[in-house]
Amino acid sequence: MARFFKNAFSDYLITPEDSRITPESLLLDLRLPWYRSLPLSVVMPTQLVLDGEPLSLDGATVSYEGREYTLAELPEQVGTSWFIQDSVVLKVPTPKPLAAGKHHVLLTLNLYPPYIPMLTHVTRGDAQVQAA
Amino acid sequence: MTASQTSAAAKGFKLGSTLYSFTNEWHERRYGFEDLIAEVARRNLGPGLEIIGFSSIRGFPNVSDDFAARFKDLMAKYQLTPSCLSINADMAIRRGTMMSVDEAVAYHAPQIEAAAKMGFPVVRCQFAAPVEVIIRLLPLLEKHGIKIGPEVHAPLNPSSPPVMAWREAYAKANSPLLGFVPDFGCCAHTLPATYIANLRRQELPEDLIQLALEVWQLPRDAGWKRQEFARRVEPLNADPADVSALAVMFNILSPGTADMWKEIMPQVVHVHGKFYDFDEQGNEASIDYGSILPVFHDGGFTGFMSSEWEGHLYMRGVDAFDMVAQHQALARRIIAKHTGAAG
């Protein structure tokens, strides 16, 4: 699981320098792993591993263009396109504050490209993120 | 284009670029939209310029008057010609359901309006929408004089069932605006060696790589290949991210011949000159341009071929502008040799 797989369109799924850790949550800056803007309705974070241990995505949200969506709300967002040159921020609550220093984050993200019906494209990326 | 313009056009197709070739430069945020266009012009990679609406334009298909005017100014300033706007048939925008024909017509219409506003004479559409959608849009296309064609992309070819369905519908509709956009990725004789080497460098499991390469060779469509690959890897308990990474090969290149394009040559409205890598002689490593381009030249195609570099999928630190320049040099070499021999 620790193996870092570069997704096809970007070396980064998580941009380390733009991600951070607060006492309450991980704030991960995500780059779209596709070559065209996609509606948020076809984007879904599915799995997160923090320092080798699974971290639940319960309560996680995705923020884009000043709005914050729960993961359950994402499939409804057919009118909001994630533009290629923008990041979205995935916020994942942590049960307790993380120790200062770097933490390893491994994220799996599913895309369902809407012009290729039936395709589920699974990508994964990792980053070392600094906790203050 | 009117009949008189067609007959006045010089024999031979024209070259150009699609901004898709510069996906890495764009994705990594090293270039803005206008920077990319300026660089295409500076490197003489036109005159044709193709863009993907949903890739290059924030807020697409909404295109403001200011944006359209600025785009036209840039085309004039850099002496580039809008060749094709690639649009999308996002039929599954609601996961688990497909758009109705009415919804799909409504989804396509503003994208065609955007093409008209920006001055694109051709629109590339996709087979994901049924041909009925495009027939329903014919009045809008006629209003603007815009040609349209779905991309005949790997693993399809001009005789594949989905393409045949469109050809039959076109025969009934009988409009010169209805055509096809060949993509040369479905004329591959192999996968690029550098592509396969990269799979190994990514440390994908060798048994999965071998299974994927076996399935790639089979003469079936991509959906079937993805399923067949999934079936074969199931006992191996493979990582879904690995399976997705390998399944990409089924959709990017497929085996085919140059002659197969003759069947639809009069309906070709635009071409995607897909390429990945070059051999030591400057020939494309997996697509035989030497046999393909003469077929289009002799077939009377006079539109644009966009140089479409897709090596960005797995190559890093490569100058995409230089790759496009090499591709266009190859095309010029082949046509010069062909016409010299013919003349």
Say how far apart CA B109 and CA B86 lie, in whole Å.
Answer: 13
> Is residue A62 over pLDDT 60?
yes
In DSSP terms, A63 is beta-bridged to A68, A89
Q: CB-based contact (8 Å) between A58 and chain B? A: no
Same domain assignment for residues B207 and B110: no
Please compute the mean of the pLDDT values over residues B233-250 and round it to a whole number: 89
pLDDT level of residue A17 (50, 70, 90 thresholds): very high
Instruction: Say which residue, B222 or B153, is predicted with more confidence.
Output: B153
Same domain assignment for residues B77 and B115: yes
Contact B60 A81 (CB under 8 A): yes
> Of B75-84, B94-103, B175-184, B192-201, which range is least confident?
B192-201
Q: What's the confidence (pLDDT) of residue B308?
A: 98
Residues of A in contact with B241 (CB under 8 A): 5, 108, 122-124
pLDDT level of residue B123 (50, 70, 90 thresholds): very high
> Is residue A8 over pLDDT 70?
no
Contact A41 B226 (CB under 8 A): no
Count of domains in chain B? 2
Instruction: Say which residue, B241 or A67, is predicted with more confidence.
Output: A67
Q: What's the confidence (pLDDT) of residue B330?
A: 98
Structure tokens that stand for B117 in this block:
């506003």
B89 to chain A: closest CA residue: A115
> Of A103-112, B103-112, B125-134, B199-208, which range is least confident?
B199-208
Residue A130 C-alpha, separation from nearest chain B C-alpha, in angstroms: 22
- Quick check: A28 and A54 in contact, CB under 8 A? no
Q: CB-based contact (8 Å) between A112 and chain B? A: yes
Backbone angles phi, psi at B25, to 5 degrees: -60, -35
Dihedral angle, C-alpha B161, B162, B166, B171, nearest 10 °: 0
For A35, the closest of B23, B203, B226 (CB atoms) is B23
Say how far apart CA B209 and CA A87 lie, in whole Å.
Answer: 32
> Is residue B148 over pLDDT 90?
yes
Q: What's the confidence (pLDDT) of residue A12?
A: 83
For B29, the closest of A6, A85, A120 (CB atoms) is A85
Instruction: Determine the structural domain holding residue B315 and report its residue range.
Output: 11-187+256-342
Say how far apart CA B175 and CA B173 lie, in whole Å.
Answer: 6
Structure tokens that stand for B169 in this block:
């519908």
User: In 3D, which of B293, B261, B251 has the Cα closest to residue B149?
Assistant: B261
> Is residue A3 over pLDDT 50?
no
In whole angstroms, how far apart are CA A108 and each of B115, B116, B230, B271, B323? 36, 40, 19, 36, 32
Q: What is the mean pLDDT of chain B?
A: 93
Say how far apart CA B108 and CA B91 lie, in whole Å.
Answer: 10
**Domain A16-131 bears CATH identifier 3.30.70:** no
Give the DSSP letter string of B20-62. GGGHHHHHTTSS-HHHHHHHHHHTT--SEEEEEHHHHSTTTT-
ipTM associated with this complex: 0.92
Interface A-B, measured as beta-carbon pairs within 8 A, has a size of: 92
Same domain assignment for residues B205 and B276: no
In whole angstroms, how far apart are CA B192 and each of B188, B276, B316? 9, 7, 15
In a domain? residue B3: no
Same domain assignment for residues B85 and B221: no
Q: What's the confidence (pLDDT) of residue B3?
A: 40
Q: CB-based contact (8 Å) between A6 and chain B? A: yes
A40 to chain B: closest CA residue: B93
Q: What's the number of CA atoms in the CB half-sphere (13 Å) around residue B177?
A: 21
Contact B95 A5 (CB under 8 A): no
Please compute the mean of the pLDDT values over residues B263-280 and round it to a whole number: 97
Say how far apart CA B244 and CA B230 lie, in whole Å.
Answer: 9
Q: What's the confidence (pLDDT) of residue B255?
A: 87
B127 to chain A: closest CA residue: A115
Say how far apart CA A19 and CA A6 lie, in whole Å.
Answer: 18
Q: What's the confidence (pLDDT) of residue A6?
A: 52
Contact B27 A35 (CB under 8 A): yes
Contact B93 A78 (CB under 8 A): yes
Q: Angle at the Cα of B15 (from B12 to B20), degrees rounded to 5?
A: 145
Q: Which residues of B are designated catalytic?
A: 153
In a domain? residue B93: yes
In a domain? residue B299: yes
Say how far apart CA A104 and CA B191 lie, in whole Å.
Answer: 35
Maximum Cα interatomic distance, chain B, rounded to a whole number of Å:
62
Chain B contact probe: residue of A77, A82, A122 with most B CBs at under 10 A: A122
pLDDT level of residue B10 (50, 70, 90 thresholds): low
Q: What's the confidence (pLDDT) of residue B341?
A: 55
In whole angstroms, how far apart are CA B173 and each of B1, B117, B122, B147? 18, 25, 18, 14
Residue A23 C-alpha, separation from nearest chain B C-alpha, in angstroms: 30
Same domain assignment for residues B30 and B61: yes
Percent above pLDDT 70 for chain B: 96
pLDDT level of residue B248 (50, 70, 90 thresholds): confident
In a domain? residue B147: yes
Residue B213 region by backbone torsions, left for phi larger than 0, else alpha for psi between -120 and 50, else beta: alpha
Q: What's the confidence (pLDDT) of residue A7?
A: 52
Please compute the mean of the pLDDT values over residues B104-109 and round it to a whole number: 98
Q: For A72-114, how does the pLDDT look when each residue is reduced to its tens digit (9 = 90+)?
A: 999 999 999 999 999 999 999 999 999 999 999 999 999 999 9
Q: CB-based contact (8 Å) between A99 and chain B? A: no
For A115, the closest of B28, B89, B240 (CB atoms) is B89
Q: What's the confidence (pLDDT) of residue A119?
A: 84
Contact A118 B98 (CB under 8 A): no
Q: For B250-261, how does the pLDDT look when each residue is reduced to its tens digit (9 = 90+)?
A: 988 998 899 999
Please compute the mean of the pLDDT values over residues B24-39 and round it to a whole number: 95
Q: For B160-204, how does the pLDDT look when each residue is reduced to its tens digit (9 = 90+)?
A: 999 999 999 999 999 999 999 999 999 998 999 999 998 998 889
Backbone angles phi, psi at B80, to 5 degrees: -105, 160
Residue partners of B85: CB distance under 8 A and separation at least 6:
B50, B51, B52, B53, B111, B114, B115, B118, B120, B122, B123, B124
User: In 3D, which of A117, A108, A103, A99 has the Cα closest to residue A19?
Assistant: A103
Q: What are the residue ranges of helices labelled H in B79-205? A: 101-118, 131-136, 138-144, 161-173, 193-201
Kindly report the CATH number assigned to the domain that includes residue B26: 3.20.20.150
pLDDT level of residue A4 (50, 70, 90 thresholds): very low
For residue A48, count other CB atoms closer than 10 A to its CB.
Answer: 20
Q: CB-based contact (8 Å) between A3 and chain B? A: yes
Contact B95 A120 (CB under 8 A): no
> Is residue B103 over pLDDT 50?
yes
Same domain assignment for residues B88 and B220: no
> Strand (E) positions, B172-223?
181-182
Contact B52 A5 (CB under 8 A): no
Same domain assignment for residues B38 and B23: yes
Contact B92 A114 (CB under 8 A): yes
Please compute the mean of the pLDDT values over residues A25-47 and round it to a whole number: 96
Please compute the mean of the pLDDT values over residues B37-66 and round it to a whole number: 98
- Quick check: A8 and A122 in contact, CB under 8 A? no
Same domain assignment for residues B85 and B231: no
Please compute the mean of the pLDDT values over residues A47-76 and round it to a whole number: 98
Dihedral angle, C-alpha A40, A43, A44, A50, nearest 10 °: -100
**Helix, strand, or coil (residue B111):** helix
Same domain assignment for residues B160 and B34: yes
Say how far apart CA B262 and CA B298 lie, in whole Å.
Answer: 10
Please compute the mean of the pLDDT values over residues A20-33 and round it to a whole number: 96
Residue B88 C-alpha, separation from nearest chain A C-alpha, in angstroms: 7
